[in-house]
Amino acid sequence: MTPLLATKGLSRHFGGLRAVDNVDFTLMPGEIRAVIGPNGAGKTTFVSMVSGRIQPSSGAIVFDGADITGMPAYVRVRQGIAYTFQITSIYANLSVYANVALPVQLTLRHGPSKSAIQAAVMTALERTGLADRAHMPAGQLSYGHQRLLEVAMGLALKPRLLILDEPTQGLADSEIDNFIVLVRDIASSATVLLIEHNMPVVMQLADRITVFNAGRILAEGTPEAIRENAAVQQAYLGTAP
């Protein structure tokens, strides 16, 4: 089975700092992969290069067999890579509905009717539990709901790879539980790459975990294997009680 996403020797320097250092990474279709690691390990830089927000200093990115290293971000989105921002980036002055309508009107390319757009928008809003807030200005949503709106916008793109950057940050516990159900639901139709610091969420959701440290991949494996891994414990998790 060909990997959905593969990086070869992917690196990014900022002056003397090697934020991402020669990373070889593969992601199979249908996985839920969690990326964890201490702050500054290069996780966000890594996924920013995958989504196209920043350019790599060297290395290659291959998506579903095609080299996308030189592709601008907006083309990658059309190829099926969706990214939700670590720091919420929605259209605060537009309604929740309008926020989701924008990605929808892109995917329903060939002269979509108003009802087709509406159906697709409401589907995305219902999956994330925001349907009853459709006509609120997005800036008036609570922080947790704004994070969910980000996910709804990502969903509306009907991506093959959905990259979630610290999606549960700032969510209440009940909201996190709903979120876990949502991600499992998403994973039935898309591959999910998830950056998270919340370890219970990671352990519940991830099929496999990749651990970043100082710009490199420290370890990769099933949640149990990672939990037992001594190097990972030392760098990030702490020893088991």
- Binding stretches for another protein (CB under 8 A): 51, 53, 72-75, 77-78, 82-83, 85, 89-95, 98, 101-103, 105-106, 135, 137, 153, 157
CA separation, residue 203 to residues 30, 93, 102, 144, 240 (Å): 17, 36, 34, 21, 15
Phi, psi (5° rounding) for residue 135?
-105, 10
Q: How many helices (H) and strands (E) does the chain have?
A: 9, 10
Closest distance between another protein and the C-beta of residue 180, in Å? 24
User: 49 vs 237, which CB is nearer to another protein?
Assistant: 49
User: 73 vs 230, which CB is nearer to another protein?
Assistant: 73
User: 109 vs 239, which CB is nearer to another protein?
Assistant: 109
Closest distance between another protein and the C-beta of residue 149, in Å? 11
Tokens of 167: 């999606």
Closest distance between another protein and the C-beta of residue 191, in Å? 18
Tokens of 160: 């093959």
Closest distance between another protein and the C-beta of residue 96, in Å? 10
User: 75 vs 231, which CB is nearer to another protein?
Assistant: 75
- Of 26, 92, 93, 91, whose CA–CA distance to 64 is shortest? 26
